[in-house]
Structure 1
């Protein structure tokens, strides 16, 4: 009862448009969800690399020979703007994808201070890499690899290292040449064949002394979906709930009212039944159809009563002259020796009754023609609604 009282009046085209629009947009929503979710996984991977390099560079700065790194005071930490979180910068839709990282070029001997720090930092880098699965490389201020993959070579010419040597942390997307698809559905993922590279400068006493370069493949799309399966399942339940709502909307607004009207139509055709009021949950066009059907049923009932009364009246009007004609004919047949004057009187009576019948027939034909030209009550009601709607 509460739903019926508060059900909004909707047009049939609004209901159908809502259902068709949702059906058309659902695949698009699914595609957008996959893209946004995958982009979130990539940015999350970048944030993890930023956090790793922030810790490693701070450790390297503290270990660097001659470093004057001191812990910040309470007043410094309370200064507005002291804490500045570094957000993710890459986006699968707009960030250009660079080729795979080229091999390290031949270079001279690395810086001695960087070598000393690298030897002490190597164990920390190895342990971190074992847990995070990231490739971690330490370079000196000339871009020469001190510790990690490509040791002894130089990567000073690649964009991310060049930016870090200039004092700016930088993240780039590169192709992963060592990637080989393992699952048939991996073509849906744009990031499966990519690798994220992040470089952060090691700043000692205001001078860039080295670079920490890390790289890792982003979290796989389908693995991420599996790990977030509960949240995604709740989203699927929400979509199914909305589809169920649309089904109820179509059922209450279209299907059930039409079935009810069809049943009432059969009952009225059989000579019984009454037209119910329009359902409050039906579409506006269905309510109008109920009203028009009610007007039509009322007009049919009124016409049926009129025909019954008219038939009774006509039968009475025809019965009297027909009885007179039959009586006069019987008398003429039974009394062949009737006087001419009396016979003429009976014949005049027959002629008068005949003229009376002819006049009744003429009046009936005139009445039928006039009734065919007279607009019905349903037509008048419809014209009134249309005129009021135009105003």
Structure 2
């Protein structure tokens, strides 16, 4: 009966392979969404560079303030205590180390709106003079570092920094923090009203700018602020700069994906489809399909193909055996049934014209044929039971098995050696094996049977010999075939050796006919208990 599979949708192997390859190709693209970490590092790097540049400018600015002799009262608020982790002093008299570490983080810091515009204000002439002297230095530095510089006085008025000189940035958040003596940094949008770029979700650094405000300390008071800004590098710019390498990487990824697909196709998909095609041919009765695949691909696929073909060959052999067995059974049963039917019809049709002797002869024929049918049925049941027997785990020996045989049916059987060797077979089954062999010897004129056994490497070898007429060379290859017998007239069924073979196979044993100077000699092997 053919098993009907459910209508549940199942993907084809080719679909699964294509999906896997698409995922493999997409992994590098998905990696673009993890460039946020790299962008964050670029922003930290930019902030660190601005801190370094600001520290130098703050030291120069503080030196100019001291040299200019600006009164102490014109300076700003006092610097926070030295324990503050945000302070930044440039006073040469203070030699302690106060490093400023980058603090900006794309994951936690908000990107602020674009920097507010400067407002009108009046700069102190003393600070304005310092700014004028340092403006050239700022311009030359900007050409190299590409950073924007603003020098602010203690009130937040720009005293150097291109077009915003004289205007106040005191209202900017990071500037207010610096005017209070604390280092401050911020991320701000560069262009306020333009739409987000295509890769904005990948690189927030594309349209942001890093702002750093560093207080300048003179005599523990805020003497001004160095306000710096710069647009950090972004991953898109980096990839564009490395476009040659990126192209080669893309080609390598595409080539590797195609290679994976080709290998998978040849090693998995192609053998599977070949095996499916063989299965259909075998199911249709094509015996030529029971041969190895032309291409196995992998060791596991070769093992699967071999196991499948072995199974198909065994099923085919079993089917042939069943067909042959059915033919033999029908033939063996047909002969006595035909004879019984003929005798019964003669008894019915002859009526009173048949004398008593003839009537008795035909009745005896019916009884004899009925007995043969009964014997055949019993032997068939014995054979079926032997072929489907599962080992019980019981053990016995030759001597114990012989003791189970009926005394009236036993030839003179002697054990020459190994009678106490333990055998992995139950005493009942061992007795059936010996009984069939002894009965077979008796039917061929033997008067005595001898048995000997030896054991080695976990196997017992048993020799069963008789002094009968032996087996002719022409019949030696047929003796284990079901229903083969040379004593059919005397009641032989030709199934005794078949039952013996089936019982021994069920216990991982074997039997074969070996040469003998006289009579018949069988060699049996069984596992040792």
Report the TM-score when normalising by structure 1.
Answer: 0.63
Deviates further, 163-172 or 53-62:
53-62
Q: Which runs of 5+ in 2 are unaligned?
A: 1-15, 70-94, 391-529
Asked which structure has the greater CA Rg, the reply is 2
Task: Determine the structure 1 residue equivalent to 2:170.
Answer: 156
Closer, same or farther in 2 for the Cα pair 1:186/1:98, shift >3 Å?
closer
Stretches of structure 1 that go unaligned for 5 or more consecutive residues are 1-14, 69-80, 376-391
Closer/same/farther in 2, CA of residues 147 and 174 from structure 1, 3 Å limit: same
1:303 paired with 2:318, answer yes
User: What secondary structure does 2:223 align onto?
Assistant: strand
Please report how far the alpha carbon of residue 95 of structure 1 lies from its aligned counterpart in structure 2 after TM superposition. 1.0
Q: Give the Å deviation of 1:199.
A: 1.2
Match of 1:7 in 2: none
Post-superposition offset of 1:123 = 1.7
Q: Is 2:226 aligned against 1:215?
A: no
Check conservation: 2:339, 2:369, Cα contact below 8 A. Answer: no
Please list the CA deviations of residues 27-54 of structure 1 after superposition, one character each: whole Å capped at 9, or x if unmatched: 9952542322332332233233223323
The answer as to whether partners of 2:150 and 2:226 remain within 8 angstroms in 1 is: yes
Secondary structure at the aligned position of 1:100 is classed as coil
Q: How far is the alpha carbon of 1:198 from its aligned partner? A: 0.9
Per chain length, whose mean CA-contact separation is higher, i.e. which structure has more relative contact order (CA < 8 Å, sep 6+)? Answer: 1
From 214, 232, 240, give the equivalent of 1:200: 214
Contact 2:185 2:211 (8 Å CA) reproduced: yes
Inter-partner Cα distance in structure 2 for 1:159 and 1:240: 49
Root-mean-square deviation (CA), in Å? 5.2
Query: Which residue number corresponds to residue 137 of structure 1?
Result: 150
Contact 1:253 1:282 in 2 (8 A): no
Once the 2 structures are TM-superposed, how far is the Cα of residue 121 of structure 1 from its aligned partner?
1.5
| Structure 2 counterparts to residues 73-222 of structure 1, below 5 A | 86-112=100-126, 114-148=127-161, 149-178=163-192, 180-181=194-195, 184-186=198-200, 188-204=202-218, 206-222=220-236
Change (3 A) 1:181 1:124: farther
Q: Provide the rounded CA distance (Å) in 1 between the counterparts of 2:106 and 2:379.
A: 86
Question: Offset of 1:171 from its aligned partner?
Answer: 0.9
Corresponding residue pairs, total: 341
Q: Are residue 34 (structure 1) and residue 48 (structure 2) matched?
A: no
Deviations 1:10-69 (A, max 9, x none): xxxxx99xx69x77994995254232233233223323322332333333344445289x
Residues 344 and 366 in structure 2, CA contact (< 8 A), matched pair in contact too? no
Q: Conserved in 2, the CA contact under 8 Å of 1:143 and 1:210? A: yes
Q: Supply the distance in 2 between the matched residues of 1:96 and 1:109 (Cα, whole angstroms).
A: 32
Q: 1:271 to 1:247 in 2, by over 3 A?
A: same
Question: Counterpart in 1 of 2:333?
Answer: 318
- Tell me the distance in 2 between the aligned counterparts of 1:328 and 1:107: 141
Give how far 1:288 is off. Answer: 10
Partners of 1:84 and 1:367 in 2: how far apart? 101
Please give the alpha-carbon distance, in whole angstroms, between the structure 2 residues aligned to 1:157 and 1:151. 15
> TM-score by structure 2 length?
0.49
* Partner deviation per Cα, 1:283-332 (whole Å, 9 max, x = no partner): 8xx89977985785475256346425634642552364367569879999
Higher alpha-carbon deviation: 347-356 or 37-46: 347-356
**Residues in 1 aligned to 2:125 and 2:249: alpha-carbon distance in whole angstroms:** 54
Distance 2:229 2:338 in 1: 117
